[in-house]
Structure 1
Amino acid sequence: MALPRPRSVFQRIPAYRAGKPAHSDAYKLSSNENPFPPLPSVLERASDELARMNRYPDAGMTALYRSLSERLDVDEDQLAGGTGSVGVLFTLLAAFCEAGDEVVYPWRSFEAYPIAVDLAGATGVPVPLRDDATHDLDAMADAITEATRVVLVCTPNNPTGPVVTRDELAAFLTRVPSDVLVVVDEAYVEFVRRPDAARGLDVLPGRNNVVVLRTFSKAYGLAGLRIGYLVGPPAIATVVRTATPPFAVTDIAIAAAVASLNAVDELEQRVEAVVSERESMVDALRSGGWDVPDTQTNFVWLPLGSDALDFAAQCAPVSVRAFDGDGVRVTVGEPAINAEFLDAAARWRAAR
């Protein structure tokens, strides 16, 4: 008996792999989560919304757009929300790409990029990173053809950590045709401390082909509520809003996001604690002989190549994220758990 067949893309598309579970959340350094629990004010506001779970969410995301507009100094019609920045990306590519179109992106970078591109019916054009784990923007510009519809720039880059600099992005944008959409993915922007790092919002004025993606999952600690957003030209934001499924983002998530924006001073203290711990981990690893690229995120990258899977196994009970053949990404967790990871890394290296 014949069965319904999905599109042929599902014969080759990989499933997204979540971070490997651990015996407790504290030991799970395989997903880029915030190690701190929700702020009491945010938890209280989200809990209040539970009493209204019998009602549909605000499809217009009014409170979210108002708060972001004030916080970022952008117009509300420049915003489009979704289920995390990755949800917005999937919607964006589905809205702007079709069969025969190409999407240029760095590789290795965010694991969901090739999945989102394939599902949109487009063809991915991955461009290898440079030896220092940074974007090769010259090569990415060279890869643009008449078929290119979108270019993805991940800064800081996941899973390797480095940023694209302000000058690099400015030079790159001069080479991108005006009808090619440039997506600046800034999921980790709050952790950036390099003064010369590019900021997507700074390049938006005067450009009609650039959008910025951001999320509440990382620095704001709302990964479980799935909420992120796009900032860009009103014409593009309007298309993404139209293409987003109705009621995709819950009022609980919106309430928590707005409360987080109102508690930004408290959250910045937590971000500073993560950044400080990140620097300590990088210093310890480099002192131990490890090759660690610059990281402006809440994780560190070890370019272990073919040793990635073996190293990850030796880190147990700490769970880290291995990318077979490339390296291992380790999220900054609680100091005691980070110390256990560093001990495991030292033992593995000493045994080589």
Structure 2
Amino acid sequence: MPAPEPRPALAGIPVYRAGRPAGSDDLKLSSNENPYPPLPGVMERAAATLGRMNRYPDAGVTDLYEALARTTGLAADRFAAGTGSVSVLFSLMTAYCGPGDEVVLPWRSFEAYPIAIAAAGATAVPVPLRADATHDLDAMAAAVTERTRVVLVCTPNNPTGPVVTQAELERFVAAVADHVLVVVDEAYVEFVRRDDAATGLSFLAAGRQNVVVLRTFSKAFGLAGLRVGYAIADVLVAEAVRKVTPPFGVTDLAQAAAVASLEAADELGERVEAVVTGRIALLEGLRAQGWEVPDSQANFVWLPLGPDAHLLAERVHPVSVRPFAGEGVRVSVGTPEACDRFLDLAARWLTGR
């Protein structure tokens, strides 16, 4: 007896592959996680919710939206939360895309983009990055057609690391029709130190209704295991995303930890600075060895190795890094000890291959 068949669109969708686990968390540089444990105060706030786990969480995500409103100065109804920013992206695609629609995106970029697009039944239109691993926004603007519903901008770009500048994004948004959503994925924005880097919030503050910003608590805030991300958008766009987001996805525990993290911004800022310092050291160390590494403003660096990507990933074991077949290797910034271990193994690979 034949089994039930899924929608034909799923035939071309790859399964999302997580980074290979390392021998220990200390040597796991494959998933862009914050290497430092949650702050004690954040853990205490989250743990206080465990006594009511027999109850459904607040489906309205009230406390988190109010905390985000205080942080950004925007109204609470301009947010839409989900289990990580990737979940919010899937909801956004469901709300705005369908068969016959197109989504323009940079490539190589976040591997979940094509999956989310295909799952909505839309067609991905990938535009290659420039030689320096940055977005080619002119080419992306030229790729927009009457079928385009969404354009994705990832800054800093995952997995290559460079940012889009504010001037570049302003020209790009001006060139895109008002009915096309420009989704600015800022999952790594807290690690950015370039003064000219783009910020999607500036367009929302200026009243642009077709710009959406995606952010997450997984990276800089160190809550990857709790899955909290959100969109910041025009009121009607945020409402549309919330309509197609499964209810009760963001647990009370996750909401409490996220709110506590926002309130502990100064303490978390110190940890973010430690990661930024580690990124600079990793970039400098690799370049001193002779590697060509794009500028990164995230919590990872990119080695454009082409067909040697998986070979390097195998050679640096027990450090775990993220290879992308035929393209390169992404190395997350971990503890200083883990980064030093990787640098030592990377140097050996260079001299011995």
Q: TM-score range by the shorter chain?
A: over 0.9
> Where does 1:114-263 land on structure 2 (aligned, <5 Å)?
114-204=114-204, 205-263=206-264
1:3 CA displacement: 1.8
2-structure distance, mates of 1:35, 1:215: 16
Q: Which amino acid aligns with 1:207?
A: R
1:338 deviation in Å? 0.6
Q: Give the paired residue count.
A: 352
Q: Once structures 1 and 2 are overlaid, which stretch shifts more, 72-81 or 127-136?
A: 72-81
Q: Deviations over 1:201-228 (max 9, x none)?
A: 0111221100100000000000000001
Which ranges of 4 or more aligned residues in structure 1 deviate by more than 6 Å? none
Indicate the residue corresponding to 2:78 in structure 1. 78
3-state SS of the aligned residue for 1:156? coil
Question: How far has the Cα of 1:300 moved from its partner?
Answer: 0.6
CA RMSD of aligned residues (A): 0.6
Which secondary structure state, in structure 2, belongs to the residue aligned with residue 51 of structure 1?
helix
SS in structure 2 of the partner of residue 183 of structure 1: strand
Measure, in 2, the Cα distance between the counterparts of 1:203 and 1:350: 48
- The amino acid of 2:334's aligned partner reads G
- What is the identity, as a one-letter code, of the residue corresponding to 1:226? R
Within a 5 Å distance, the mapping from 1:3-42 to structure 2 comes to 3-42=3-42
TM-fit CA distance, 1:10: 2.2
Deviation at 1:311, TM superposition (A): 0.7
TM-score (ref. length: structure 1): 0.99
Specify the SS of the correspondent of 1:224: coil
Q: CA deviation at 1:242?
A: 1.2
Q: Which amino acid aligns with 1:152?
A: L
After superposition, what is the alpha-carbon deviation per residue over 1:83-132, rounded to whole angstroms, capped at 9, x for unaligned?
A: 11000000000110010000000000001000000000000000000000
Query: Which residue matches 2:113?
Result: 113
Aligned-pair CA distance for 1:257 = 0.1
Alpha-carbon offset, residue 2 of structure 1? 2.5
Identity of aligned residues (%): 65
Unaligned runs of 5+ in 1: none
Q: Structure 2: 5+ residue runs without aligned partners?
A: none
Secondary structure of residue in 1 paired with 2:91: helix
Counterpart amino acid of 2:75? D
- Distance in 2, matches of 1:199 and 1:178, equals 19
- 2: distance between equivalents of 1:284 and 1:2? 56
Aligned with 1:126: secondary structure?
strand
- 1:344 paired with 2:345, answer yes
> C-alpha displacement at 1:241, in angstroms?
1.0
Structure 1: how far apart are the matches of 2:240 and 2:9? 25
- 2:97 corresponds in structure 1 to 97
- Aligned amino acid, residue 261 of structure 1: L
1:58 is matched with: 58
**Paired residue type of 2:275:** V
Give 3-state SS (helix, strand or coil) of 2:225's partner: helix
- Counterpart CA distance in 2 for 1:339 and 1:218 is 21
